[in-house]
A and B are shown apart, each in its own frame.
Chain A
Amino acid sequence: MITFFYISLLLCCTLCMWRIGRGPTAPDRAMGIDILGIIVVGFCAVIALVTGKDFYMNIALAWSLLSFIGMIALAKHLEGKGFDE
């Protein structure tokens, strides 16, 4: 069962990476990174499930926070504005 989780998450990551590499526009790539960030959170959750260690969830929380801030900054940049507008 755990193997199935790992395989499907890796498949998700691969599909996201394909979109990040393929483009064709900048928002496509940004969206791919955003989704990849959320999938990494899922990955951390599965690893925490297997190992039973809770610091993997700290990584997940920090990762989702960073991914969110980065995505807002990217979106603002695409709009042609600074981060504080």
Chain B
Amino acid sequence: MTEIISYTVIAIGMMFNLFGCIGITRLPDVYNRIQAATKCVTMGTCLILLGLMIHAGVSPLGIKALLCILFILVTSPTSAHALARGAYKSGVKLWKKSCCDQYGAVSIITAYDVMKKDVITVSPDTPLQDAVDLLVEMRITGMPVVEQDGSIAGIISEKDMIDYASKSNIKTARVRDAMSTKATVFSPDTDIHIIAGVLSKGKFRRVPIAENGKLVGIVSRRDIMHILTSGKKKEAGKK
């Protein structure tokens, strides 16, 4: 009786092994193959060992088979995960029909990781003279203009101020008169590559980051330079 049971279990294990190996040969990319082979072959070999255990009963052979089952159950998925990660890091591409790449999506740097959160802002009704003083004092080249309720009215930079000063008197003016109202605003989850593309065009030196119309941060060329230098998400986020 035990013989029939153990042989049946082993035969089922063999089927799993065979299907796993067919998976190795038939599936399109390394990640598919790893998952098919590891799942099926681990299951199949464990069943073979289980059949051996049933056959041998409580004996050195049976105990060793049990040990082997436990060991394979722990190590086989571990090595498969390590191998998949190694394959990904070494640059093996996914199959072209794969629908999503969540591991890759995690490593995208967003505007939120890079932006400065404590932004120096100015209200549109501030006298332009004060804004000029503030820029010079804080050693920055521009800042967002923010209404009382936190919404972005525009952006004012050295260039806007010099432009205005060349045409009229800044002593009597307010920020509203000089600022540029056509600020390009991004949301915090924008891929940093898009923002870098906009900044590299040369029109702006900084872009405000807003969520639901409220200003939450600012990304300047300097912030992008910080990711370029360290190449690490964490250090860039601290800045």
Q: Hey, which bits of chain A sit against chain B, CB under 8 A?
A: 1, 4-5, 8-9, 11-12, 15-16, 18-19, 25-28, 30-32, 34-35, 38-39, 41-42, 45-46, 48-49, 52-54, 57-58, 60-61, 64-65, 67-68, 71-72, 74-80
**Taking the nearest CB of chain A, how far is it from the CB of B10, in angstroms?**
6
Interface class of chain A by DSSP: helix
Docked Cα-Cα span, A58 to B44, in Å, equals 19
Query: How many interface residues does B have (CB within 8 Å)?
Result: 52
**Do the beta carbons of B64 and A57 come within 8 Å of each other?**
yes
Interface residues as binary, B1-33 with A (CB distance below 8 Å gives 1, 0 otherwise): 000001100110111011011101100001001
Docked Cα-Cα span, A45 to B75, in Å, equals 18
Docked Cα-Cα span, A62 to B202, in Å, equals 63
**Do the beta carbons of A80 and B89 come within 8 Å of each other?**
yes
Residue pairs across A and B with CB atoms within 8 Å: the count is 160
Interface class of chain B by DSSP: helix
Complex A-B: 10 CB contacts under 8 Å:
A4-B11, A8-B15, A12-B17, A27-B83, A30-B86, A35-B24, A41-B45, A41-B72, A74-B86, A80-B90
**Do the beta carbons of A71 and B65 come within 8 Å of each other?**
no
**Taking the nearest CB of chain B, how far is it from the CB of A38, in angstroms?**
5
Docked Cα-Cα span, A76 to B182, in Å, equals 50
On chain B, the residues within 8 Å of A65 by CB distance are 71, 75
**Do the beta carbons of B25 and A30 come within 8 Å of each other?**
no
Query: Does B146 sit within 8 A of A, measured CB to CB?
Result: no
With contacts A38-B72, A64-B72 known, is A32 near B45, CB below 8 A? no
On chain A, the residues within 8 Å of B184 by CB distance are none
Docked Cα-Cα span, A8 to B45, in Å, equals 12
